[in-house]
Amino acid sequence: MSASAAPVQVAILDDYQNIALQMADWSRLAHRAVITVFNDHVADPAALVERLQRFDVVCVMRERTPLPRAISGTGYTSSPTIELTWALILAAARNVVAENTALRHGGWQQSLGEDLDGKVLAVLGLGRIGSRVAAIGRAFGMEVIAWSQNLTGDKAEAAGARLVTKQELFRDADFLTIHLVLSRRTAGLVGTAELALMKHSAKLINTSRGPIVDEAALISALRERRIAGAALDVHGIEPLPTDHPYRSLDNVLATPHIGYVSRRLYETFYRDTVDNILAWLDGRPIRLSADPRAATAKSPRR
């Protein structure tokens, strides 16, 4: 790009917290790019296309606005998701949100918490994230069992877990945590039949992808108290509709897909995004995404 060329138009999408410009040194693009930040989410494809027509570069997170083509990507780490998984498990076990709400309204000691020591942690998907979640479960003194379509006994043992059948995983779980990639094989994998196998005292935790769980089946199980509760960071529709049952069911702990929303990871996302835009402007190779969850920057017209 020559010094006399007009600045390119760059759009940053879905910056819900309005912090993207604070997470990287965007001044490196001074005089070469005009940055426009959108804090809202546009779900309708036609409206999204209309909004983005004037832009040369679109900065997105696949978690928020998916794009179907291969695109440049940024660095990524799973640590924030692993940490949030355990925040949800602990909060669900000890009724932290309900107790805090009661205390704020004058209450005191409203419930009995569940111990983790000696309980069964069932890990659905024992990959990079699931294996680290399993390690923390063992540190709490939990028995760790695992299952997924391709998991072998040796891999499970190496991660400190015991391989069981799918039926045993759901039947024996005290806390069942999901760590699978969403695909044709895993969409709806947790449905009515699987939930029916679970103990009435069991709780389901999902920080992976909402559609892995049949939402209608889970809502039914929660309403009828066929399982004790669920702690969910991911949802089939995001942002979650204001009238969604997850917002009102008293045995649901729901968070707004914040598993990856941490300062260090945001700084990585946006720093690498600036690097990629500069590389594109200079005609240098851009970083390709090695992880499907990474933030991405796409240049639609070059």
| From 114, 238, 244, 267, the catalytic residue | 238
| Phi, psi for residue 229 in degrees, rounded to 5 | 180, 180
The answer to whether residues 153 and 175 touch, using CB atoms and an 8 Å cutoff, is no
| From 132, 179, 209, 293, the catalytic residue | 209
Residue 209 designated active-site: yes
The answer to whether residues 34 and 43 touch, using CB atoms and an 8 Å cutoff, is no
Q: Dihedral, CA atoms, 260, 262, 266, 267, nearest 10 degrees?
A: -140
The answer to whether residues 158 and 174 touch, using CB atoms and an 8 Å cutoff, is no
Over the Cα atoms of the chain, what is R_g?
22
For residue 208, give every residue at least 6 positions away whose Cβ sits within 8 Å of its Cβ, in sequence order, or none. Answer: 125, 129, 178, 179, 180, 181, 182, 234
Beta strands 72-73 and 295-298, pairing class: antiparallel
| From 132, 179, 257, 293, the catalytic residue | 257
The answer to whether residues 299 and 280 touch, using CB atoms and an 8 Å cutoff, is yes
Residue 238 designated active-site: yes
Residue 41 designated active-site: no
Contacts 24+ apart (CB under 8 A), 38-41: 38/11, 38/12, 38/13, 38/14, 39/14, 39/15, 40/14, 41/13, 41/14, 41/16, 41/65, 41/238, 41/239
The answer to whether residues 294 and 301 touch, using CB atoms and an 8 Å cutoff, is no
Amino acid at 35: I
Distance, CA of 176 to CA of 166 (rounded, Å): 12
By annotation, the residues acting in catalysis are: 209, 238, 257
